[in-house]
Structure 1
C-alpha cells in the first residue's frame, strides 16, 4: 500500500487526506496546533464562540464534493446556510448598501443608493460571470510553472480574456461611477490580500462568487467544515495527529521520503504533501542545497499580502443594526491601501469588517453578540516588527466604530486581540501575511508557486500561497487537485 505523509491540517491538507484515503492510500497527517483547520480556528470566550478564520463561505459545492466523493452525505457533517442579503456596507455619510445574491433585491438597493449606476448592474454580472467561468475551466484545475505553460492556444486565449492587464479599480469604473459602489466592490481585492488599485481585474470574479453564487455559513460555526473533513478522513482510515510538529522533510537522492517529527522519530512514505505557507515552511523544513529553484533569497523576495488585526469581542447584548456581515468604510480608501502597501504602516483611515454570526445562529453566542472585528493590517516588517501598539490601535478601532453608532465598550464582557505576530507564529505565515504573496505583480497573480517541487521529487504543496491561490474554496481545491495528481502517478 502506498503511503502519503501530510504536513499541516488546514483545509488543503484535510481535503488531500480525504481524497487519498478514500482511494486506498495510507495517510498520516501531522498538525502542530491542537486544532485541525488551519486559520479556520475555533475560539471560545465565556459563552461566546468564534471562527477565527474564514467567515465568508462561497462555492459550497467545493466543500460538499470533498465529503461526497466518499459516498457520504455532506449534510451529515455540516449544514451550509445560504445568506441571501449577506453584507451590509456602511459609509461615513450614514448611508448603507446591502449586498445580496438576490439580483432583483440588489438592483433595488442600487437604485436607492446609486440610481445612475443601477442600469449597468446586469451587464456587470454578465462580465464577472464570464471571467469566473473561464477561470473555473482553465485555471482552477491547472498549475503553471512558467509563462510557457500559457502558450497553448486555448490557455493563451483564455488568459487574455480574463482582463489580466487591467486593475480591479479600472474594471469597476467601466460600470460604476458612484464612489460608494467603487469602494464596496473594491474591497473584494482584500479577499486575496491585495489592493484594488493594483490587483488584476481577473479577481473581480470574487464578486461573482458572492453576488451570483451566494454566501454561506456553516451552522454551529464554519469550523464545522474542517471538523467534517477530519471526521471523514479518519473514517476512511487516515491517521490525523494534532500537537505534533514536523522538524524536517527527509530527502534522499533528490526525493522526499518522509519526515522527522519534533520528538526525533521518523515516518517514511511514498509522497509528502506540505500544507503550509510555502514561503516559510519550505525553507524551514528543507536545506537550501536541496531546493536550488527556491533559494532562501527567493523565499523572502515576494511582496507579502496584507495581514489582519483582529479583535474578538463578546457582548452582553445583541446590538441593533448589525447583520451577519458588516463593513464600515473609511472616507479615503485609496489612502488606506497607500498606507498598507506603499508605506507599510497601519492606516489612519481603516475600514473595519465585523462578522456577527450570532445574527444567523444565536446558539453560538446565546448571551450576546460574538463580534469578529477585522482591520486590514500591513505584514510584519522584514525583521518581524509589529509597527503598532496593539492596545492603542484597538481603542482607535472602538472609537471609529462609535462614530457609526456601534458601542462596543459599554457591552463588552469578553475580549481577545490577535495581531499579525500571532498569525506568523501560529500559522507559520510569511511575515504574518494571510495569503502568502500579494497579487499585485502579474507573476505573483498568475504564476503562484506550483503544487509540486521542481527540485525534490514526490514533494507537493497545497494551501493559499500556492496555486490556485488564497481563500477557503481555492485551498480546498488545491488539496484535492494534488491528491488526484498523486493517485495518477501511482496508478491508483
Structure 2
C-alpha cells in the first residue's frame, strides 16, 4: 500500500481517542510534525477513567481482546509493553445469568466449554469444535481482507479477492441464525447473540460475519489491563509525546480549513489557526464531519445510528465474590428487547451487563450498562433517568444482587452525546443492522476533501478498541507510504 502523501510534514489530529493516539505515535516516531487537539481533559475518548471517592472505574471498553494490536503501537517505538502495561488474561471471562437461575460461563478453555455444553446443550457440545473452526475462518477472512484496508475509493471494492472474501463471510445470514446452526439451548444462543451489541446492533439483523468475535473471546482470549484499561491511552499519549508529538487537552477544534478542495489546517475555538498538510479526524464522523467541514458529503446524515447505553457507575462497600469480571443478566425476551430499542423505547426488562474488575481493595466498583436507543432526532432521551435507574436496581435485586450504592454516577445517551460528540449519543456511529453499513462503512479517506482522513469507531474497520487502533495505524502507515503489517 503506497501513500499518495508520502511527503507529509505537518499533521493535525482532531481528537485524542485511541485511533488518533495510535496515529500520532506512528507518525511522530517517523519524524512527522504532529499536533493533536482534544476537547476533553483526558486522552482516550470513551476509554475514560472515572474516580468517585475511593472507587475507580473504566467508562469505556471493559472487554479487551487482541492485545497484540496495542503491543504493536507501543513496541514500534522501541519500548517494551511490559514496562507500561500488564495485560491479564481471564480464564473464565463472562458469567451469563438467566431468569430461571441457569448460569453459563464463557471461557477460552475449550474443554471447560464442552463440559458445560454437555450438561445443557449436548448438540452444542458435539458441534463446538466445528463452531470454533468456522469462527476462526471468519476471523482470518477479516484480518486478511478487511482490517488492513482503507477503502479510499469505490475501486478498492472491486478487487476479486475482496469479492471472494465478502461472499464467504456469511453476509446474507444473521448472527442469530448462525449461532442456531451450532447450538440448540436458547440460553447459549443468547450468550453469543450478545456479540452484536459490541458493534451497537441487533443479533437478529446484523450479519453473521461478526461471529468472528467469538474467535477472539473463545480462542484468543479476553484480557484486562492491571490498574485499569485507561492505561492503554495514557501509554499511547506518553509515547506520542516522547516521539515529538504535541498533544493538547481542553482545546476544541472549531472547523477544518479547506481551500480549493484540500485541507490547509484547522481553526480552534479560541480563534487560533494551525496549518497542516493533513488533518486526521478522530471524532464521531456523523457528528463532527457536518460540524467541522464545509462543504461535506451529506449522505452520512441518512445513516442509522447504533444503539447507545444507559450506564451506572456504582461503588459499593460490599464485595461481590460470586461475580465474574464480566457478568450479563439476561432479559427473558431478548428479541423483544431489541425490537423496543430499534423502535426508540427503553426495555422494561433489560439485559444488564455488570463489570466487576479487581480495582478496589475494599468494596466493589461496579460498571453497570443497559443497552439503550439513541437520542431522538431532536436530541431528546425517551426515559426518565431516575426512574430507569431504580428499575435497573430492582432488576438486579431480582437476580440476587441487592446493590446498595456508597457512591454512584449515571451516564446517559445525553451525556455521551455531549462529552464525546457522539451523534445522537450512539456508541458506535453507524449501526451494522444493514449489510451496506457493515461492509461499506465510511472510508478512512475523505472523498470530497484532499488531505482529510478519518479514524475511530465510526469509520473503517469499525467499533471496539482494537479496531479503532487499527484504523489509526492504517491511516498513519498509508501517509508514510508503508504497508501495515500487524502480528495477527
SS in 2 for 1:466: coil
Counterpart check, 1:156 vs 2:163: yes
Task: Give CA-to-partner distance per residue, 1:152-204, whole Å, 9 cap, x none.
Answer: 22111111111011100111111111100110000000000000000000001
CA gap of 1:136–1:278, structure 2 versus 1, over 3 A, is same
Residue in 2 aligned with 1:37?
Answer: 44
Task: Quote the offset at 1:357 in angstroms.
Answer: 0.6
Where structure 1 has 5 or more consecutive residues not aligned to the other structure, the ranges are 359-363
Residue in 2 aligned with 1:53?
Answer: 60
Following TM superposition, the consecutive aligned residue runs of length 4 or more in structure 1 with deviations greater than 6 angstroms are: none
Task: Quote the offset at 1:206 in angstroms.
Answer: 0.7
Task: Give CA-to-partner distance per residue, 1:428-452, whole Å, 9 cap, x none.
Answer: 1010000001001111100000001
Task: Give CA-to-partner distance per residue, 1:56-89, whole Å, 9 cap, x none.
Answer: 0000000010001111111111111101100000
Where structure 2 has 5 or more consecutive residues not aligned to the other structure, the ranges are 1-7, 483-488
Counterpart check, 1:355 vs 2:362: no
Counterpart check, 1:439 vs 2:393: no
1:111-260 map, 5 Å:
111-144=118-151, 149-260=156-267
Residue in 1 aligned with 2:368?
Answer: 373
| In structure 2, C-alpha distance between the alignment counterparts of 1:366 and 1:47, rounded to whole Å | 9
Residue in 2 aligned with 1:361?
Answer: none
Counterpart check, 1:96 vs 2:89: no
Task: Quote the offset at 1:116 in angstroms.
Answer: 3.1
| In structure 2, C-alpha distance between the alignment counterparts of 1:117 and 1:12, rounded to whole Å | 38
Task: Give CA-to-partner distance per residue, 1:238-280, whole Å, 9 cap, x none.
Answer: 1000000000111111111111111101110111100011000
CA contact (8 A) 2:349 2:395 kept: no
SS in 2 for 1:56: coil
Residue in 2 aligned with 1:477?
Answer: 470
CA gap of 1:145–1:198, structure 2 versus 1, over 3 A, is farther
Counterpart check, 1:394 vs 2:394: no
| In structure 1, C-alpha distance between the alignment counterparts of 2:258 and 2:75, rounded to whole Å | 35
Residue in 1 aligned with 2:327?
Answer: 326
Task: Give CA-to-partner distance per residue, 1:376-402, whole Å, 9 cap, x none.
Answer: 000000110100001100100000001
SS in 2 for 1:64: helix
| In structure 1, C-alpha distance between the alignment counterparts of 2:246 and 2:417, rounded to whole Å | 27
| In structure 1, C-alpha distance between the alignment counterparts of 2:205 and 2:73, rounded to whole Å | 34
Task: Quote the offset at 1:115 in angstroms.
Answer: 2.5
Please provide the CA RMSD for this pair.
1.1
Question: How many residues in Structure 1 have an aligned counterpart in Structure 2?
Answer: 475
SS in 2 for 1:174: helix
CA contact (8 A) 1:333 1:349 kept: no
SS in 2 for 1:197: coil
CA contact (8 A) 2:123 2:182 kept: no
| In structure 2, C-alpha distance between the alignment counterparts of 1:107 and 1:21, rounded to whole Å | 47
SS in 2 for 1:140: coil
SS in 1 for 2:56: strand
